[in-house]
Structure 1
């Protein structure tokens, strides 16, 4: 979206954000039930803090304006997650491709001072972002695509949701088991 000041913001892709949040929930949901009774509330508090941290990490934004590109977190979490960078358009000299161990390709923006910054490839409206980058800098973005195809996140989201459903079904079955125990059962 373009603001009245000409700033265009690109957030993490909703599919990726939803997938990673679902995976977090799937992995930590059973932990309070598995923890010893005296530690359960501490576990719940830690998991809620972890959820806030994950939400913060997934809220990284890419901003473009007439001056350049900036990658940063929103104000509510920026005090904790200080990582970020900016680069004026005129400083961008090249896109450097680097192969990943999974067979994909990431790209680094190379600046005049030889600084390299990772090109965000998991953002919403990625094609629009590449168009802005190509229009305002001297680099060609031809042939650059997303880091991973959407189907990989769709499969992972499906698996995470199946895990959550299985954990809920297990919790219901477990609670039914304990409810139906005979009176005076030592278990």
Structure 2
């Protein structure tokens, strides 16, 4: 088996990036004028950090699996792990507070590593993992169903459209923000 890479699922990546943009993009224009340059400068830095965080990927090969980040951001996000296939001894399900289940990969030395459940081609990833480890992965599903990310993505897009409309109205002079009362 040649190395196979499984990046974060595009729907999840898009949703998280659009959530960042929807929540943070209007802040510089709502802030006091002395803070605006700092916040405008922080926008691209924050965007790069979010983009780095959603760039996590899983690599599988004959020797084992590795979870980490691409070279362009791995120096910043050193979190990650790798295991040889013969080190994997089991899977432990753990219930989440939202009603889902995550799984930890157990090793012979008693360590546990979070099994990635937000990867693209998740079923293919699980099939490869099961084939190499001999573990039954049929009960493993995504952390949350796709409709939750679809709903959140739709809400983020609606927020971005609304923010763009308000921005256009303010810039074109069709609307003015009410003066804040200092009382």
Q: TM-score, normalised by structure 2?
A: 0.92
Q: CA separation in 1, counterparts of 2:59 and 2:170?
A: 48
Instruction: Give the aligned partner of residue 114 of structure 2.
Output: 118
Q: CA separation in 1, counterparts of 2:146 and 2:175?
A: 44
Deviations 1:148-183 (A, max 9, x none): 110100000000000011111112222344789xxx
Q: CA separation in 2, counterparts of 1:67 and 1:122?
A: 22
Instruction: Give the aligned partner of residue 64 of structure 2.
Output: 68
Quick one: structure 1 residues 178 and 40, their matched pair in 2 at CA, closer, same or farther if it must change by over 3 Å?
farther
Match of 2:28 among 19, 27, 32: 32
SS of aligned partner of 2:34: helix
SS of aligned partner of 2:67: strand
1:57 paired to 2:72: no
SS of aligned partner of 1:37: coil
Quick one: structure 1 residues 127 and 90, their matched pair in 2 at CA, closer, same or farther if it must change by over 3 Å?
same
Does the 8 A contact of 1:92 with 1:138 survive in 2? no
Instruction: Give the aligned partner of residue 20 of structure 1.
Output: 16
Instruction: Give the aligned partner of residue 180 of structure 2.
Output: none
Does the 8 A contact of 2:169 with 2:175 survive in 1? no
Aligned length: 176
Instruction: Give the aligned partner of residue 185 of structure 1.
Output: none
Match of 1:7 among 3, 24, 34: 3
Instruction: Give the aligned partner of residue 170 of structure 1.
Output: 166
Q: CA RMSD in A?
A: 1.5
Does the 8 A contact of 2:18 with 2:156 survive in 1? yes
Deviations 1:125-162 (A, max 9, x none): 00000011111113111121111110100000000000
Match of 1:44 among 40, 45, 57: 40
Does the 8 A contact of 1:93 with 1:138 survive in 2? no
Cα displacement (A) at 1:57: 0.3
Match of 1:90 among 76, 86, 93: 86
Q: TM-score, normalised by structure 1?
A: 0.90
Match of 1:104 among 82, 100, 107: 100
